[in-house]
Amino acid sequence: MKSLKGLQVLVTGAASGIGLECARAFAQRGANLVISDVNPTALEHARAGIAATGVQCFARTCDVASEESVAEFARAVHEAVGAVDVLVNNAGVAFLGSFEQTPLSEWRRIYDINVLGIVHCIRAFLPAMRAAGGVRKIVNVASLAGFAPAPNMSAYAASKHAVVGLSEVLAMELTGTDISVLVV
């Protein structure tokens, strides 16, 4: 993709942090944005800021941990803008604590968002991306913890290792198509 002008770029977890900065960077390069987050107030603020740059910005709350929420979001996106050109799976959470101090509920929350959230989004958006044809990208945001973890982040590091592995396998499976997978 030499030019992003006019392309549809979807960023999850786009109301703050890395997601918001990614959305802003794509907007500065002329892409139209589709953004989601679980925080409706922050999402509307992000949408207004991105739209003020002169690009189109479709925003809708979505809980990536919920397959149903992602399916509803995908239906709304496909109706509003069609297939996306770039899918940035950014939504994620962290938890710091030793393995013994990390409750099982945190393991589930982290995996539901960091891993299954990406799975839900790819399952919801990849078919339309394939059907639309042309060069398309899936970008999965992992972390340095996915390659070189540190103490007190066992659940987070394990989830980000899973993101790296998922991305590598999906990239292999999509070899020979116009859809490529990147892991950040």
Query: What is the Cα–Cα distance from 164 to 142, expressed in whole angstroms?
Result: 6
Residues 151/104, Cβ–Cβ less than 8 Å: no
Side chain identity at 177, as an amino acid letter? T
Give the helix ranges, DSSP H, for the chain.
17-28, 40-51, 67-81, 104-114, 116-132, 154-173
Beta bridge partners of 1: none
Query: What is the Cα–Cα distance from 143 to 31, expressed in whole angstroms?
Result: 25
In what side-by-side order are the strands of the sheet with 179-183? 57-61, 32-37, 8-11, 86-89, 136-140, 179-183
Catalytic residue among 114, 118, 156, 158: 156
Query: What is the Cα–Cα distance from 90 to 11, expressed in whole angstroms?
Result: 6
Q: Is-catalytic flag, 111?
A: no
Residues 122/87, Cβ–Cβ less than 8 Å: yes
Residue numbers annotated as active site: 156
